[in-house]
Amino acid sequence: MKVFKFGGASVNSVERIQAVGDIVADHMQQPLLIVISAMGKTTNALEKVVEAFYAENKEMALQLFDQVKQQHITTAKYLLTTGYLACEAQLKDFFTEVEWLLHDKPVREYDYYYDQVVCVGELLSTAIVSHYLNQQHITNTWLDVRDIIRTDDNFRDAIIDWDFTAKAVAHIKEGLLKDNGIVLTQGFIGCTDENESTTLGREGSDYSAAVFANLLDAESQTIWKDVESVMNADPKVFPEAKPLHHLNYREVIEMAFYGAQVIHPKTIKPLQNKSIPLLVKCFLNPALPGTVIDGNGVKELPPIVVLKEKQVLLELTSKDFSFVSEHHSTELFKLFEKFKFKPNLTQNAAIQLHCVVDDLSEKIEALALEASSIFDVSIRKNLSLLTIRHYTGEYYNKITANRTILLKQQTPETIQVLMTEE
């Protein structure tokens, strides 16, 4: 039994969906559970719909949603012949669910509406792909993952109820997946016990797939991406980036923690806990080796670079020249918790605390305001946080040349520097 995850880029055109069909057709000799994201940039487009709705700009919200509708209808028309009408009926049900909501006035919190609207991206993409595969005689069952993945109501970052979900997954394992069955469902979304849709955090489909892999005791999980493999740096920023064909869970969890965009940070734990290998493969060329991530030791890794841009430095200085104590740090971390906000790096000095955070202006302002009762707060923007794992002096000097370094933190394995943007 294998779990496949196809991301938004792998289903963002007719040709790509056809290529997904070819990949699945090559792996039909075993049970397959397939998790798919929303097409291309649909999630971003739906975020704009929610923003307009919450700003009580109903016309705009409906108009933006209409664009999403048209894109999906057009794709379905190109792909489907016999199955088109059945697919259209399914898509229309989802459209109606959202449109009803958009006609209301917002009375609850933003994050609740976000999840009710944004979840439709995955429902639409999977409906289209499922109908297409069936048309190609790749017989599969489409499931609404909201009947399987149960979560709490922490909208936009919901936590999975593993007990409920495990039972629902066991049912699928004993039923639909028997006899080399194929199940196709959504990543990223779930549902509360009150039947409200939830989402698991942006890019969360990798995690959904890992939850399934864990509960199915899958032989492996494959994430199909548009890159040849995991690289030791972002090739768009560092053209000399090299492929990494073998990594272990620990390395990937560290990379994700420091901000590498490769795989959603929550993905590794469910796989590691059951020793399930994670394969990263290129959907543009499935013959390429890709990357295997497992529990085995990996020797001789090259320097691995993660660059986080648009970083902000908060300098918090104690008001009366007193030393920064446990009390100060505790108060500060309480604030981070309150605003659901995590520093990417912290450093203490005698009378100062330094925190490096993502540039989320509203949260920063709110946090700075509250922190100003205990600290003098200064904010510096437009910085980059560079992390190098397995660094060498030579490599470090090369990539930090001509940059002003504001903070540095170092262990024998990892070096992190906060620097001015180029």
Contact set for ligand ASP, span 128-187 (CB under 6 A) = 187
Q: One-letter amino acid identity for 422?
A: E
Write each residue from 39 to 78 as x if it is in contact with ligand ASP (CB under 6 A), else as -, in one continuous string: ----x-----------------------------------
Dihedral angle computed from the Cα positions of residues 116, 117, 121 and 123, in that order, rounded to the nearest 10 degrees: 40
Q: Is 8 in the site for Mg ion (CB under 5 A)?
A: yes
User: What's CA 402's distance to the chain center, in Å?
Assistant: 33
Among 38, 61, 253, 312, which residue interacts with ligand ASP (rule: CB under 6 A)?
38
Q: Is 7 in the site for Mg ion (CB under 5 A)?
A: yes
Which among 37-45, 132-140, 186-194, 234-242 is the span making contact with Mg ion, rule CB under 5 A?
A: 37-45
Q: Is 37 in the site for Mg ion (CB under 5 A)?
A: yes
Among 3, 7, 111, 371, which residue interacts with ligand ASP (rule: CB under 6 A)?
7
Q: Are 50 and 42 contacting, i.e. CB atoms less than 8 angstroms apart? A: no
Which among ligand ASP, Mg ion, none contacts residue 187 (Cβ within 5 to 8 A by kind)?
Answer: ligand ASP
Token output for 303:
């320097």
Token output for 278:
């994670």
CB of 263 to ligand ASP, least distance (A): 10
C-alpha to C-alpha distance for 66 and 102, rounded to whole angstroms: 12
Q: Is 40 in the site for Mg ion (CB under 5 A)?
A: no
Q: Find, among 414, 325, 301, the residue nearest to 374 by Cα.
A: 325
C-alpha to C-alpha distance for 130 and 137, rounded to whole angstroms: 11
Which among 200-208, 309-317, 370-378, 408-416 is the span making contact with ligand ASP, rule CB under 6 A?
A: 200-208
CB of 262 to ligand ASP, least distance (A): 13
CA distances from 294 to 34, 47, 212, 249, 263 (A): 20, 35, 17, 6, 14
Q: Is 190 in the site for ligand ASP (CB under 6 A)?
A: no
C-alpha to C-alpha distance for 293 and 143, rounded to whole angstroms: 28
Q: Environment class of residue 5 by beta-carbon count within 10 Å: exposed (0-12), middle (13-18) or buried (19+)?
A: buried
C-alpha to C-alpha distance for 129 and 336, rounded to whole angstroms: 41
Which among Mg ion, ligand ASP, none contacts residue 38 (Cβ within 5 to 8 A by kind)?
Answer: ligand ASP
The binding site for Mg ion (CB under 5 A) comprises: 7-8, 37
The binding site for ligand ASP (CB under 6 A) comprises: 7-8, 37-38, 43, 121, 187-188, 202-205
